[in-house]
Amino acid sequence: MRFVLVLATAAGLLVSPAMAQDLPALGTTAHDNVGIGTRIVPLLPGDWTVAAIHESRSSSNSPIGRAILVQLADGKLSRWAYISTNLEWNSAGWKRNKSICDRHSVHYAYSDDNNNPKDITCWILNHRGQTLGENASQVWVDFFRWSDSRSRPNTSLALEYFFARNGDFLEVTYDFNPVIDGFHDTSTASWRGNPWHVDMASKDARKLDYLRKLKVSGEDQFAKLRTVLK
């Protein structure tokens, strides 16, 4: 896959009112990994620019740090990474992310089968319609504003991960813009009936080859991400 990286300028990045020292600064560049709170989160290859950050509270009042980092190709959005993790240990633990761990009709899925809410490991390869929805978190609102003028596609392909260990959790999503790799954008952001839906993409040899390569990248990144929580 071809990725020509052009970094976004700090002036074009959006900041949410709640910023903390636990989060990377807007406009800074990360390579190989990024620090959020006490965690060092591995990144896919290349230079990544921090485009949106936000800190909020969970339903149990635990602080949550979120960040979105981006890569551009010729000024167009190429890849983006969403990272969310707790900034303080939560003795109550964390709920299983069913949209990742129990998702069906995806291109690939791995999920633990130990039924232990304090030991959760799962990831999927899925397609995602790029819409905000009704209850979007602030970090996504900021990212959509930032990417509105940077050729964000209607549909992305995504590697989505969720881990929980005792009182900690980590959620990471890497989105890929298939238009950068020569595919036509979809006419809508609808998930059902989407040309990238598993039922339709499985009939297209070129898409299948692209998805196999993403799966290989996803497996490599899974091996790195699963070691973040101790």
What dihedral do alpha carbons 182, 183, 185, 187 form, nearest 10°?
Answer: 150
Residues 6+ apart with CB under 8 A from 167: 86, 89, 90, 91, 92, 93, 94, 118
pLDDT, residue 7, reads 31
Side-chain-side CA neighbours of residue 17 (13 Å) = 0
pLDDT, residue 59, reads 81
* CA 82 to mean position of chain CA atoms: 4
pLDDT digits (tens, 9 = 90+) for 55-73: 999 888 899 999 999 999 9
Positive or negative CA dihedral for 64, 6, 174, 138?
positive
Nearest to 169 by CA among 181, 157, 161: 161
pLDDT, residue 8, reads 36
pLDDT, residue 116, reads 83
pLDDT digits (tens, 9 = 90+) for 74-100: 999 999 999 999 999 998 889 999 999
pLDDT, residue 135, reads 86
Q: Give the Cα-Cα-Cα angle 69, 215, 137 (nearest 5 degrees).
A: 35
pLDDT, residue 21, reads 67
Residues 6+ apart with CB under 8 A from 224: 42
pLDDT in tens, the chain (230 residues): 333 333 333 334 444 444 446 999 999 999 999 999 999 999 999 999 999 999 999 888 899 999 999 999 999 999 999 999 999 999 888 999 999 999 989 999 999 987 787 899 999 999 999 999 888 899 999 999 999 999 999 999 999 999 999 999 999 999 999 999 999 999 999 988 999 999 999 999 999 999 999 999 999 999 999 999 98
